[in-house]
Amino acid sequence: MTIHDMDSLSFYHSQHPEVETPEVQEEVTEAEDIEAEKDEEEEEEDEDEDEDDDDEEEGTDPFDELKEECTKTAACAPYVHHFHECVERVTAEMEEEDYAHKAYKEDCVEEFFHLQHCVNDCAAPKLFYKLK
């Protein structure tokens, strides 16, 4: 799984905090920890530069906004539904006593990738119209 995939998962999880993504969530947490350490280092370096930029506001990423809108479209609704269904199924399975001893443990990676593919196909063509 690449950092980009984990960023997508982080984005989806930030938009839907009620949905936990089993097994993959550990990788996301590790990536977020590494990213947080880098951010702290950059913040220390940027503090001197930020004194001059107090009047400027932090911009938001238009691609994130577009992806959020696309998760609510009719075209991506089935993928959202299947992903949520899978997460509920896996979460229920994880609560079973014999979960640790199961030979096959389902994850929702396939459903997640289908959802991200739909969202990216929806958002990407609109992105360049939002950029200045």
* Contact predicate 80/96, CB 8 Å: no
Name the domain count of the chain. Answer: 1
- What CATH number did the domain enclosing 79 receive? 1.10.287.20
The whole domain housing 101 covers: 3-130
Q: Which residues contact 91 (CB under 8 A, 6 or more apart)?
A: 20, 22
pLDDT in tens, the chain (132 residues): 444 554 555 666 666 666 555 554 555 455 566 666 666 666 666 565 555 555 556 788 899 999 999 999 999 999 999 999 999 999 999 999 999 999 999 999 999 999 999 999 999 999 988 886
